[in-house]
Structure 1
């Protein structure tokens, strides 16, 4: 799988619960990581003192909030929140529809993706379908068609990508499609659940994705090394489990009583917005639907609980509910991984013990762990150098990248059809530019040229994908990349 690595946001501050809690959020780095590796044994988490410290702090916060919520002051607080958010509450459906439509216009503009910037596709018609989905949201009559379009795009994404690592996104996509169907319905008993399905979709997405912090902590090591400010000075092996607890419990909090869920939503909104600055606008696009639904939850005046209301209102429901959610999600995550990849898959620790890296080269995170033997081999395409290699080694890597590009270009340009010859020549030309940009990212330090290198890699890879699709559509053998 080879989509662009997904930006990692910040899961920080559990407002009063996780003291100097950390800042991370969700990671989906399909390209660089060995996604088929087995998750770390759950015993590793269950014996982690910091995991239980985080759980204890969260329970104290939730129980204190529930006690406060049951008091007159708690009721007054909810009334005040209702007054503040009332202008949005009165137009909440308009807000949701505008954001959903805007999201699909944004990914249409990005181009070459299915439903997030991670999920690449060379099919141009997908972008135009996204524009139709956005247009369909204007009218309640056509909203079910837009919902069907969203589900269709997810079917395509699940066909092309690893389903296991898309399950959290899938929950969100199904929730958005369900909202459009319910909002378009004339049956009020159905419509009243439209915001609730959004809440459940985001909650499931956050709780599922948080388990990566426990199952694959190695995936987050390069990010911590490159952006140490995210940890607020916490050691890596404290920060990651505490961040996982924060993300899981705030997702769980979205399903709780009104004050708990609204406070959880406010905290999450601050966190996701904080991620935009270090990770850029693409992160904002990728998280736009989640952020919008979080706003909806914070502004939702609904006080009734439709499912298991009695246990969710009771104080005992807090530890029982959290324990139940952990048991369900952990069992599903570790169990489904065995179903998808088999019970004999090896963990990251076992792979590293054999000298393998946790991941291959990553454009966005070139300083992550890599295997030296691979870097120094005569691999084709040429290897990427660690940043501390000397000038002679860098020059040698540049020379090998250009030599490989030249030979493949000349071979492709010999084709009898001039159109095919052009495409066969341009693919290695673009790949050579990508190889050079990778070397620069691994060895260079100038911010402007590093940013240019990232731009070259992203743009040239999209064009390579389009050219390979063009060849495949004409039954021409596609060169190996």
Structure 2
């Protein structure tokens, strides 16, 4: 996550870069596992409220939180916190250095990856963005320039909000604002401000987790391709049981980060285990995308602070556990469903309705009003737009003939593009038909193949290759080069 900053500092830099805020062609917002239909209406909340697995998860979490609070009130709880303090004391004494190193390292990492804003999910063809990220990393070295780095982070989030779907970026935004706020508070000479620096990080991660967890209730269908591709993620639990309980776990652990010291530290440790175990199956780029949230979770686990600054009486009371969780659910559910209606209206179809009409791959289908991912570029068939994810129409042709025809078309367009006098342009003009050829082959596989692994590979190729085609077409467009038809 996304998981990933002050508005009034660095005005000079912001003014110098104001021109970059001019409207540009919006890109698709792509979650890390699949492109999806962003304007689909969330499933009715009654679907969740009538799900027994949702309530099973809620009961289990409430029991854990209440039991932990009971232990926390005893000498055993105090001893447990003291032991955690002793074990983490070396890092606690250098915790600000740890945060600054991780934040600076994160921006160096995304500078090295290139072509992204503040997470690998948010791509951009603008090369200057990477150099700004390097400047942000350099600014964190000194407390005097940390507010400028914070302003740079906010500026990049503004660009991301401009280019991508804002509603589905709110979970990312909470984390970005929290990191920016930390940099400002840490650089402040006012101790009454600085004492809240770790707290803003905690709130940022908690809000991001609670907001993003609602996708599992509002759009469980988005997770179906992921579960199908990586079935080990469910530990053998049936899909429709696993997804709502996973949503409960994510929301409640985010809520737990705002609770009393023992609850929040145990919640942080549980989250850290989950994020660490995700590194191997999803790879190093996913680790980069989650680096900030993982670092903040470590900060929460290490934080020795036991003072509660907001609503301390209700957070310490046992009755505060069900009241607080109920209040958080009401606030976030109302905001999520309400803001979606504000952004997209109330007459959109739910994912269940779309899938009933279009089939199981509707999470990847084309939306002309709200483009949403690398698989949305359409071809024309009989004058109508057809999503690239659709299997190829082989007609009476054999599979071999279909493959041969796709390769012949690719070869002719590649050679024509490579004749351009500018070697950079020639490379891009040659690569676009090369990638399109791979997409055409993948669509033939979807039409004629049957092996589940190959079918999944074909969908992956379509997604990745189309995303790169989009980036190359945007590069040509920026340079005034005629963009070839898809």
The alignment's TM-score, normalised by the length of structure 2, stands at: 0.82
Distance in 1 (alpha carbons) for counterparts of 2:278 and 2:37? 25
What is aligned with 1:16?
Answer: none
**CA contact under 8 A between 1:254 and 1:262: conserved in structure 2?**
yes
**CA contact under 8 A between 1:409 and 1:428: conserved in structure 2?**
yes
Q: Deviations over 1:386-416 (max 9, x none)?
A: 9xx9xx8653553343344346456657879
Q: Deviations over 1:288-324 (max 9, x none)?
A: 1110000000000000001111110111110000000
What is aligned with 2:222?
Answer: 219
**CA contact under 8 A between 1:210 and 1:245: conserved in structure 2?**
yes
**Displacement after TM superposition at 1:110 (Å):** 1.0
Distance in 1 (alpha carbons) for counterparts of 2:284 and 2:59? 35
SS of the aligned residue for 2:243 comes to helix
Of residues 128, 133, 138, the one that matches 1:135 is 138
Distance in 1 (alpha carbons) for counterparts of 2:244 and 2:426? 53
What is aligned with 1:478?
Answer: 483
Is 1:431 matched with 2:457? Answer: no
Which blocks of at least 5 consecutive residues in structure 2 are unaligned?
1-26, 367-374
Distance in 2 (alpha carbons) for counterparts of 1:446 and 1:39? 29
Distance in 2 (alpha carbons) for counterparts of 1:315 and 1:345? 41
Alpha-carbon distance change, 382 to 302 in structure 1, aligned in 2, over 3 angstroms: closer
Distance in 1 (alpha carbons) for counterparts of 2:216 and 2:29? 21
Distance in 2 (alpha carbons) for counterparts of 1:358 and 1:453? 13
What is aligned with 2:7?
Answer: none
Distance in 1 (alpha carbons) for counterparts of 2:30 and 2:398? 27
**CA contact under 8 A between 1:382 and 1:401: conserved in structure 2?**
no
What is aligned with 1:11?
Answer: none
Distance in 1 (alpha carbons) for counterparts of 2:61 and 2:150? 36
Q: Deviations over 1:332-391 (max 9, x none)?
A: 0000000111110110111122235422279xxxxxxx9xxx9999977876659xx9xx
**CA contact under 8 A between 1:440 and 1:453: conserved in structure 2?**
no
Distance in 1 (alpha carbons) for counterparts of 2:422 and 2:445? 35
What is aligned with 2:362?
Answer: 358
What is aligned with 1:154?
Answer: 157
Of residues 64, 67, 76, the one that matches 1:64 is 67
**CA contact under 8 A between 1:376 and 1:383: conserved in structure 2?**
no
Q: Deviations over 1:71-100 (max 9, x none)?
A: 111011111100000000000000001111
Distance in 2 (alpha carbons) for counterparts of 1:257 and 1:219? 34
Q: For residues 395-434 of structure 1, what are the structure 2 equivalents within 5 Å? A: 395-406=400-411, 408-409=413-414, 423-434=428-439
Q: Deviations over 1:404-440 (max 9, x none)?
A: 4346456657879887666544432333245446767
Q: For residues 197-212 of structure 1, what are the structure 2 equivalents within 5 Å? A: 197-212=200-215
Number of aligned pairs?
443
Q: For residues 9-158 of structure 1, what are the structure 2 equivalents within 5 Å? A: 29=34, 31=35, 33-158=36-161
Distance in 2 (alpha carbons) for counterparts of 1:286 and 1:452? 25
**CA contact under 8 A between 2:388 and 2:443: conserved in structure 1?**
no
The alignment's TM-score, normalised by the length of structure 1, stands at: 0.83
**CA contact under 8 A between 1:375 and 1:384: conserved in structure 2?**
no
Which blocks of at least 5 consecutive residues in structure 1 are unaligned?
8-28, 363-369
**CA contact under 8 A between 2:28 and 2:164: conserved in structure 1?**
no
Distance in 1 (alpha carbons) for counterparts of 2:288 and 2:364? 26
What is aligned with 1:235?
Answer: 238
What is aligned with 1:314?
Answer: 317
**CA contact under 8 A between 2:257 and 2:263: conserved in structure 1?**
yes
SS of the aligned residue for 1:359 comes to helix
Is 1:6 matched with 2:32? Answer: yes
SS of the aligned residue for 2:304 comes to coil
